[in-house]
Amino acid sequence: MSEAGVHIGVARARAAAAAGHGRAVPAHAPVDEDAIRTALREVMDPELPMLSVLDLGIVHRVDVTPGEGLIHVEILPTFVGCPALELIKTSIAERLAAFGRPVEVTATFEIPWTSERISPAGRAALLAAGIAPPGADSADAMGLAPGGLIDLEPRVPCPHCGSRRTQLENVFGPTQCRTIRYCADCRQPFEAIKPV
Amino acid sequence: MTATAAPPATALAELLRSMADDEFVIGFSDSEWTGIAPLLEEDVAMSSLAQDELGHAAALYGLLGELTGTDPDALAYDREPEDYRHCRLLDHGRGDWAMTIARRFLYDSADVVRLEALAGGTWSPLAELVGKLVREERYHRMHAGAWLDRLARADGEPRDRLIAALAELAPDAATVFTPLPGEQALLEAGILGAPMTQLEAHWRASIAPTFADLDLPMPPPARDPERGRLDHVDAFRWLWGEFTSVRRADPGATW
C-alpha cells in the first residue's frame, strides 16, 4: 500500500478475531482476495442499504498476507466528509472477523471515488429503490457543460416513470451523495445520486 | 504509489493550517443557517455545504496533525482565536442572506483557483485529497454562482443588499490569496503550482466576466495584503466562542 495514502479517521477499525457473528468459515477454507470480496457483498452501505460496499465501488484494494496474516481492506470515501465512514469501516471489519485473522480497514484518497464506480447491479438496485442512478459514461456522469460548469439540467430519467422531463430541485439532498429532482410527467419528487 | 520527497514541513504546515481554518470557519458559518434559512431548500443546501466544509476541514486537520504530531480535534478546537489563520474574508459576521451569498461566491471562486494550483502537487497526501475536494467544491461554486446571479438580477432590495454586502466585504475579498509564510519553499518543492499573487490574478480573471455581466463592482486589492490572515475581529471571536463552547464545557471529554 502507499505510505502516502491518506488515512483518515482516528481509529482504524480492527476486529476482534473471534467476534463470533455466527458466520465462521470452515477451518480450511482458503482466504484469498476473492473470498474477501465475496464476503464484502454482504456488507451494505448504511445510507444506501440496497447497495453493498462492492456495488457502491468504494472497495479500492484487498490485501491478504499469506499464512495466518493480516487482511487489509482499503476503501475510498464517497465524500470527504462522509459521516458514515467509521460505521462502514466497522461493518467491514466485523464481517471479515469471520475469517479468524486480524483485519484492518483504512480509507484512502489515492484515487477519488466517482459515481461512475457504482456497478451495473448497484445501478439497478438504486433504480428499484426509487433513486435515480448516475449516468454511465464519464461526461454524462459529471454532467459537464461547456466551460467546465456542471449542467444543471442533465436528462436524468425519472426512476418512477422513466420520463426525461425532470428538473433539478436542489443540488444538495438528504445525504452528501444525493440531489433532489422533480418529474414533470408523474409529478413526483425523487432523489438522484449526485454525479462526482 | 507516488514518490514523495521530504516536504518543507514548516511551510507545508502553514498552508494546511490556512486551508483547514478557511474550510472550518466557513463551514461553521454555513451551519448557522440550519433551521432558519430563507427557503426550505436552502436550509438543506446550507446544512449540506456545512457538512462538506467541516469534512474538508477534518481531512486537512488530519494531514496537519500527521505532519506535526498534533491531535486534529485539538487543532480545530483548542487554539486561541488569534491563532487561527483563516482569511479575513471569513471574519465578517453571518449578516443577511445577501452577505452569505456574497461571501460564499468570493470564497468559492477563490477556493477553486487555489485547489487547481495544488492539484498534481508533489506531496501526494495533499494532492490526492485535493483531487477529491475539487469534485465537491465545484457544486459549492455552482450554488453560490446561481444565487449571486439571482440576487444581482432582481431589482430593488435583493440587489441593493447584495451591493451593500459586496461593499462591506470588498477590503477583504482577496484575502484567500494572502502570501503564506514560507511560500517560496512550497513553490520550489512543487507543492504549490504558482505564487499567491499570480493565483489572485487568475481568480480576478475568472470572476471578471460574471461581475461585468451582472454590473457588479470588482473587488479592490486587499486592504493590508500581508495581514490578510491575521488581526481577526470581534465577529470571529463570537463565532469562536460558539464553536468551542461544548469543548470548553468539559475539556478532555470523550463521546
Residue A104, strand partner residues: A14, A72
Residue B187's H or E segment, with its range, is helix B183-188
Place of cell 471515488: A113
What is the arithmetic mean of pLDDT over A51-71? 94
Distant-in-sequence, close-in-space partners of A4: CB < 8 Å, separation ≥ 6: A110, B1, B2, B4, B124, B125, B128
DSSP H helices in chain A: 33-40, 53-56, 85-96, 120-128, 138-142
A110 part of contact set with chain B, CB < 8 Å: yes
Q: State residue B59's pLDDT score.
A: 97
- φ/ψ (deg, to 5) at B103: -65, -40
Out of B49, B59, B136, name the one closest to residue A8 (CB).
B59
Q: State residue B93's pLDDT score.
A: 87
Q: Binning pLDDT at 50, 70 and 90, where does residue A28 land?
A: low
Give the chain A residue nearest B146 (alpha carbons): A152
Decide if the complex's ipTM is over 0.85: yes
CB–CB contact B132 A113 (8 Å): yes
Instruction: Give the minimum alpha-carbon distance from B48 to chain A in angstroms, rounded to a whole number.
Output: 6
Q: How far from A166 is each of B41, B72, B145, CA to CA, in Å?
A: 17, 43, 22
Q: Pairing between strand A166-170 and A71-75?
A: unpaired
Give the chain B residue nearest A81 (alpha carbons): B55
Place of cell 477454507: A29
Q: How far from B249 is each of A179, A184, B79, B90, CA to CA, in Å?
A: 37, 51, 15, 25
Burial of A66 (0-12, 13-18, 19+ CB in 10 A): exposed
Residue B171, strand partner residues: none
CA A48 from chain center: how many Å?
8
What is the arithmetic mean of pLDDT over A164-174? 88
Q: State residue B6's pLDDT score.
A: 74
CA B62 from chain center: how many Å?
17
What is the arithmetic mean of pLDDT over B126-138? 94
Q: Which residues in B lie closer than 8 A to residue A174 (C-beta atoms)?
A: 44
B184: left (phi over 0), alpha (psi -120 to 50) or beta: alpha
Measured in residues, chain A has a length of 196
Model confidence, pTM:
0.88
- Reply yes or no on whether the pLDDT at A47 is more than 50: yes
Q: What is the pLDDT of residues B170-215, one digit of tens each?
A: 999 999 999 999 999 999 999 999 999 999 999 999 999 999 999 9
